[in-house]
């Protein structure tokens, strides 16, 4: 069984909060099991061609108790198979780096980068392995999720946690495929009390040179990344 600590860590790492039902449910139709299997095979085949990915991201955090949507911007850099950097630029600055089974976290505070100690490193790595799997089109994880897909403007894959403790915090993950079905357009994390966060990816730059140095996490601050 997944512990409560694991769930809380997932929420913190992905910088998300939580909706009670899939956002697309009222305007989509489910695909059949055969169509789902073909879709997953096709997606994994196309995603496997992505060796590096640089993408800007916009996060919309929606909390039912407040009428205002909190918007943050940043970027994601991925290098197959297991290097990942998630960074927020506005309205706060933070950096999370995964590099060869090591994890590093930084926050920008009072004009300086601060390197943070990471508790429960094994759980953190397990969660980030899940994220890198999604970026490579590997959505199936029968031990953790029920999986189905819906046809709307494009295609959306819905992952529903099986574990009862997990479901107390997160109802589902919606993974929106782009029109070409060779990358993610958005991720939505749904939870209870009508709260959710949507992370939309844009300005993708695929299979361009990405130096290993940007995933270095041994210094007192993250390695600088130039705009693309």
Other residues' Cβ atoms within 10 Å of the Cβ of residue 91: 9
The answer as to whether 227 is a domain residue is no
In the prediction, which pLDDT does 15 show?
A: 37
The answer as to whether 210 is a domain residue is no
In the prediction, which pLDDT does 36 show?
A: 96
The answer as to whether 218 is a domain residue is no
The β-bridge relationship of strands 29-30 and 145-151 is antiparallel
In the prediction, which pLDDT does 11 show?
A: 43
The answer as to whether 34 is a domain residue is yes
The answer as to whether 228 is a domain residue is no
Query: Would you say residue 22 has pLDDT above 60?
Result: no
Task: Print the domain residue range for 33.
Answer: 4-204
- Residue in 144, 137, 142, 158 with CA at minimum distance from that of residue 30: 158
- Residue in 158, 131, 135 with CA at minimum distance from that of residue 23: 158
Task: Report pLDDT digits (tens) over 36-89.
Answer: 999 999 999 999 999 999 999 999 988 777 777 889 999 999 999 999 999 999
The answer as to whether 209 is a domain residue is no
The answer as to whether 221 is a domain residue is no
CATH number of domain containing 154: 2.50.20.10
Number of domains in the chain: 1
Q: 88 pairs with which residues across the strands?
A: 74, 94
Give the contacts of 31 (CB within 8 A, at least 6 positions apart).
39, 148, 149, 150, 151, 155
Q: 176 pairs with which residues across the strands?
A: 156, 186
The answer as to whether 225 is a domain residue is no
- Residue in 202, 186, 180, 182 with CA at minimum distance from that of residue 54: 202
In the prediction, which pLDDT does 29 show?
A: 86
């Amino acid at each position: 069984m997944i512990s409560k600590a694991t769930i809380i860590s997932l929420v913190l790492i992905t910088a998300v909060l939580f909706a009670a039902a899939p956002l697309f449910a009222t305007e989509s139709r489910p695909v059949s099991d055969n169509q789902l299997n073909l879709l997953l095979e096709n997606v994994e085949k196309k995603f496997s061609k992505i060796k590096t990915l640089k993408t800007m991201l916009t996060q919309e955090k929606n909390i039912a108790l407040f009428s205002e949507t909190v918007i943050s911007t940043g970027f994601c850099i991925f290098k197959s198979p297991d290097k990942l950097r998630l960074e927020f630029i506005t309205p706060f600055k933070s950096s999370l780096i995964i590099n060869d089974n090591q994890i590093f976290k930084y926050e920008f505070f009072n004009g300086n980068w601060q390197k943070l100690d990471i508790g429960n490193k094994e759980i953190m790595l397990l969660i980030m392995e899940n994220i890198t799997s999604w970026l490579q089109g590997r959505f199936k994880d029968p031990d953790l999720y029920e999986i189905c897909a819906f046809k709307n403007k494009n295609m959306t894959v819905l992952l529903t946690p099986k574990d009862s403790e997990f479901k107390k915090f997160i109802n589902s993950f919606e993974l929106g495929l782009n029109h070409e079905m060779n990358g993610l357009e958005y991720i939505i994390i749904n939870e209870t009390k009508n709260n959710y966060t949507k992370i939309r990816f844009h300005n993708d730059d695929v299979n361009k040179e990405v130096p290993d140095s940007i995933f270095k996490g041994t210094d007192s601050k993250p390695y600088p990344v130039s705009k693309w």
